[in-house]
Each structure stands twice: as C-alpha cells, then as structure tokens.
Structure 1
C-alpha cells in the first residue's frame, strides 16, 4: 500500500492543490470557483456555492497536512468567505451566490450546513483558533433548534422540501465525527449517537445490507419516489460507521451485510467501475456513473484492510485502479473527468467540478494515513 500512498500524496500536493490554489480560488471577490475548464483551467461556472467553499476548506486543510505549504492561506480565505459572505443573522448559512458573492436566495440546506461544521473542524485542526470551535457550536445549536424535524432527525433545510433523504444525515454524522475529539460539551457525540441510531432503525435494510436514499416524512417508509440505492453511499457508510466505531468504542453490526451488497450488485463487470444507482433488489438503474463513488470504494477497502484480519489487497487495487482512470483521463494533471457512460464505456469530456476534489482528497488521505492513524474494525471475520 506504500506505493499507492506515495502516488496519492504526490497527486494532491504536487498536482491538484497547486492547480486549484492558482485557478480555483477567487482571490479578488472571495470564495472558490465551482468548476474549471479541462484545457484552460479557467472558471466556467456562473455561480458560487457554500458547498464548494466548505469542501475546499477541507481540501486545503488536508493538503496542508500532507505538505502543501500554501494550504493555510487557502483555508483562511475560505473562512473569510464563510464569515463575511455566507453567514446570515439567524445563525445559519446561505447556500447560493453569484460570482460577486451576493446571495441568490435565502434558502438554507441541511446538507450544506453539515459541510460548514465539517470544514470548521478541519480548519480548527489546522489553525487551532477558538473562533472555529465557537462557530461550530453555534451552528450545531442552530441545527438542533431550527432544523429539527418534528418527528425524527433533521429537516432537509429551510424551507423544508421532501422527500427526506439519508444523505444530509450521513454528512452530519461525518461532521460530528470530525468534532468529537475537540468537543468538551459532548454535543457532537450526542448527535452522532442519534444519527447512527436513525441509520440502523430507518435507513438500513438489515437483511440485505441495502441503504435506500429517499423516505417519507416519518422515515418509517419509502417515499413515493422509486427506491434508489447508491453503491457510493453504501461504501461511504462503511467508512463512516468504522470511524464511529473507532471514535466511540461502540461496535457496529451490519457492516458486513453492507459490504456484501455493495460488492454483489454495485460493480459493473463490463467496465470495472461501479454503477451509479441500483434498485433495492440490486438491479442497475442506468449506465452512467460519476467519479465520487470510486473514492468511497477506496475508503471502504482501506477500512476493511485496516481491520487487521485480511491481507487480500485485490479489492483495494481494483478500487484505486478505477479511481485513477477518472484522473488519468483528464488532459491536465490535477483535474479529472467527472462521468463515465458504461453503455458506451467512455468518459464524458466536461469541466471538472470543484466539489469532487473533496472526495478525491478524502480517498487519498485514507490511503496516505499511517496504519496506526487508521480505524481498526475487527468485523472482517464476518465479511
């Protein structure tokens, strides 16, 4: 795994981080650009998003920890955008802006607020400023007081629109896990415990290992939207449940079932890549797949190997090979092609979206971490 780790670290520190630092940051108006042209590396988006800013704060925090020395300046730039442009008077954060960083609406998105918390944790870990911890506690209070669903879990945002999704809850768990080591109030631990309980009771089919995406208002039944299972999210939950296990000491059942479902149905044997969407029975719902599920495949396989009871590297090799195909297909190192059409077995030539860099860096960070820094998950005997 050392060779893969060195290759991953080199791509982040010497290719992606310098490119996005130079071309992906709007140093004049503030914030980060949403997408770059594959050839000229210029911005092609007509808006800016809170989601992009928060994810780029993570990217440059992690890149800095890997050795990219300019990363701190990018993180500080991102925090300035959050505090000066995106924060609103109610305690939340706005989601959409024009290129001058003027808000396009007053809507707030719980998914985006989860990434505000996550980015603040990454920035705090890098900069050790109390401002970020205090801000995170304010955002957590806002979520707990203003965005609680009257039945269970959290609203989709303000205004709330159905169907309800597992996805915002999953990223809230990710954010809480990032804060647990630094939170003396235990507020993030309480929410993390709640979210894992909701996952087991409502999102997961404990018999099959499938995790559906959409639900009704009570989370008791599926929404009227057709059932959708995303292999990328199956693999992402494996990583997060393993991280939760490590952080709390609470063993997590059903990881093996999720892993088996993902491998039995989630891989496209014709392409060597994943499927983008399945139904709850494991049937593919289309031929198109994006880059990000393959980053979660890498992280899931790292979790499995770090359980210490398997030395079979084949699945990790398949996952990293699949991810590198998206990166190597781009004409400029540090960019990538975002989508692959499995029917034609070819990549689509489209601008590189900035938000995908969060996924790539997350996968490469997992690869590059020393074994003693990784989660230990002794569930492998059941896989």
Structure 2
C-alpha cells in the first residue's frame, strides 16, 4: 500500500502525467484508517481481506515507508496532515525502536513496544535513510537529517567494511557481520550495493558535499558490477559471499533496476566511461528482452540462464521498476548524453513507462472495486 501510494503520488505530480489522476486522498485515508497502531506514529504490518489486523508486528521497514509515502503524497497534494503523520512516525521510531539495541534501531517490536528478537539488517536502516532524505527534500526539516546523519554513520562505522569492500546482509546484535545460519557464509547482495551508492550520493548532495563518498561509491560499483554480473548469460545474481562467489544464482528484477540507476549516476565519476556506457547498454537490452513483457507484465525472477523462475508478480516490485526508470531517466537527461548513447535507454524507458502506465491502471481498478 505504501509503495503504491508513493509511486502514484510521484507519477501524478509529473508535468506529463496527462489523464493519470489517481484518488490519492482516498488511498492516504485508507492507510490511516486501516494500519494505525496502538499509539500515534506506530503502524501494524498487515491486515486481512476484511481489513482486520493480520500481523500486528511494528516493523521498522514499514515505518520507513510510511515516511517515504507520506512525503511523496504531501509534495503532490499539499495535504498538511501527511507532514504531521510523518513527523509523528519519525518521533515514534526515535522513541520506540531504540529499545533493546546497542546502536541503530530495532528491526521490530510487538504491540506493547517490546523488542522482538530478530537478525539485524542494514536494509531496514537503508530504507529509513531513503525516507528521511526525501522527507527533508520536501519539508526541509532538520529532524529527518539528524536521523539520516546517524544512519550514514552506522553505514560507515558498522554496515560497510571498507577494508574488504564488504556490505554484509546480516549482523549480530552489536552490528558485526553475521554468517547466514543455514549456509554458514556472510551473504552480500549486489542490489544493495547499488542502493547504497544511490543513497550516499543523495546524502552527499543534501549535505552540500557532492563528492564526499565518491571513492567508496566507485569501489562498491566495481564490486557489484564485477561479481554481481553474470558474464555468461548476463543479469545480476541474487546473492554472493564476501569474496564475490555466487551463493544464489537466480536473478530477481529489483536488483536490476537499482543497478541501472546506480550505473547511470556514476557515469561521470568512473574512470572508464566508455566501458560504463557499454555495460549500461547491455543492461538495458537485457531488461527490455527478458524482464519486461509487451502485455504490461514483468518477469519477477529469472533462473541463471534467463528463463522465468516464477509465474507471479509481487505488488512491491512496481516501486523498484517505476523509481528505477524515472530516476535513471532524470540522470540521463541531466548529463546531456550523446544521441548514440541515449537511443537504447530511451527505447527501454519509453517501453517501461507504457508498462508502468498499464500496471497503475490495473492496480487502481482493483483498489476501487
């Protein structure tokens, strides 16, 4: 619900939105009426088909997307209540999600506010950083930048091992890298390397120090492109170990869209721009040919040989597809690339926007039933 609200609000606010006029207020009001937790600023995880609570876990990831979605909604509609709800959510995170952890934020709480034991992750913090950066962009509120500062500090001091260029997925209670219990290996995901590149660059821009993390971003991009990309078939592996060896060879869609925007963002920074452009051309061709369907569908997961691995389409994926495409488009427009470079990506972007339009129309019909 929150990812879709953010996506619809962003799309409706575009100058070329045309006849796309989603009922954003109805969607916003539904979230308020359905997912509110036990006190202001707290939100339950899910409801059933009758809008009754199904999972009442208070999840950090969910709360991050409340802020992200409400800031997008507020920017497009001007609804002041969204700012109040987002501020209340940030305060609730600050007040409640520090319980039971040495640093950073707890992954989840029960309705009474008790810390639920869970393997700690950088990902929930990463999305809270994303939400705070955008909320600050919309409202220019120092409270969001204070949390953003803290999370970037956690990234530099705990999540990211600069010596080994390693971003572990899982951590101990004191935020040391933790091996996956079943596979007994530290797990890394190229897709999250790409997301952190994007966020570090956005954070640096917000702090008026645009080049502050370029060295880290270049190292992370090189690792993700070198180890994450399948040299035989193409595509981005789902999981690797700390040495860059493949652990899970399937290829989900979202790391691909994150890879597109990270590579586009770094085009003016990497040493070999021609090689970077060639890599992006390979990415856009594979994206068009293997992930995006003419009928308005997408393939969520591929096997290593690029055959479909599943036949379902999660509702969380359009967020990655939409924002990945739109942000890549904005980057390419801003850098004034040559016509020969623009041609391939523009075809993919046009085709993908048609897909997104179909997805949003169909989803809106379902929401209005």
Residue 265 of structure 2 contacts residue 331 of structure 2 at CA under 8 Å; is this kept in 1?
Answer: no
Offset of 1:208 from its aligned partner? 3.0
Residue 62 of structure 1 contacts residue 361 of structure 1 at CA under 8 Å; is this kept in 2?
Answer: no
Residue 208 of structure 1 contacts residue 257 of structure 1 at CA under 8 Å; is this kept in 2?
Answer: no
- Out of 263, 269, 272, the position equivalent to 1:301 is 263
- Out of 7, 25, 43, the position equivalent to 1:76 is 25
Q: Distance in 2 between matches of 1:294 and 1:371?
A: 17
- Out of 68, 79, 82, the position equivalent to 1:118 is 68
Q: Assess, with a 3 A threshold, how the Cα gap between structure 1 residues 371 and 345 changes in structure 2: closer, same or farther.
A: closer
The 5 A counterparts of 1:289-328 are: 289-307=251-269, 311-312=273-274, 313-328=277-292
Q: Distance in 1 between matches of 2:61 and 2:84?
A: 20
Q: Distance in 1 between matches of 2:333 and 2:143?
A: 27
Q: Distance in 1 between matches of 2:248 and 2:4?
A: 30
Offset of 1:367 from its aligned partner? 2.4
The equivalent of 2:324 in structure 1 is 363
Q: Distance in 2 between matches of 1:220 and 1:212?
A: 9
Offset of 1:183 from its aligned partner? 3.5
The equivalent of 1:59 in structure 2 is 7
3-state SS of paired residue (2:308) = strand
The equivalent of 1:332 in structure 2 is 295
The equivalent of 1:219 in structure 2 is 175
3-state SS of paired residue (2:233) = coil
The equivalent of 1:108 in structure 2 is 58
Instruction: Give unmatched runs, 5+ long, in structure 1.
Output: 1-52, 375-383
TM-score, normalised on structure 1?
A: 0.78
The 5 A counterparts of 1:237-252 are: 237-250=196-209, 251-252=212-213
Residue 54 of structure 1 contacts residue 78 of structure 1 at CA under 8 Å; is this kept in 2?
Answer: no
Does 1:229 find its partner at 2:188? Answer: yes
Q: Distance in 2 between matches of 1:169 and 1:305?
A: 27
Offset of 1:169 from its aligned partner? 0.4
Q: Distance in 1 between matches of 2:79 and 2:234?
A: 44
The equivalent of 1:89 in structure 2 is 38
- What number of residue pairs does the alignment pair up? 319
The equivalent of 1:347 in structure 2 is 308
Residue 54 of structure 1 contacts residue 115 of structure 1 at CA under 8 Å; is this kept in 2?
Answer: yes
The list of structure 1 runs, each at least 4 consecutive aligned residues, that deviate by more than 6 angstroms after superposition, is: none
Residue 221 of structure 2 contacts residue 263 of structure 2 at CA under 8 Å; is this kept in 1?
Answer: no
Q: Assess, with a 3 A threshold, how the Cα gap between structure 1 residues 368 and 217 changes in structure 2: closer, same or farther.
A: same
Q: Distance in 1 between matches of 2:165 and 2:271?
A: 21
Question: Which protein has greater RCO, CA pairs closer than 8 Å, 6+ apart?
Answer: 1
Residue 179 of structure 2 contacts residue 187 of structure 2 at CA under 8 Å; is this kept in 1?
Answer: no
The equivalent of 1:99 in structure 2 is 49
Q: Distance in 2 between matches of 1:286 and 1:205?
A: 22
Offset of 1:310 from its aligned partner? 6.6
Residue 60 of structure 1 contacts residue 71 of structure 1 at CA under 8 Å; is this kept in 2?
Answer: no
**Root-mean-square deviation (CA), in Å?**
2.1
Residue 59 of structure 1 contacts residue 358 of structure 1 at CA under 8 Å; is this kept in 2?
Answer: yes
The equivalent of 1:175 in structure 2 is 131
Q: Distance in 1 between matches of 2:89 and 2:19?
A: 28
Q: Distance in 2 between matches of 1:146 and 1:223?
A: 28
Offset of 1:373 from its aligned partner? 6.1
3-state SS of paired residue (1:104) = strand
Deviation by residue 1:42-83 (Cα, 9 ceiling, x = unmatched): xxxxxxxxxxx0100111122223433465534323211211
Offset of 1:363 from its aligned partner? 1.0
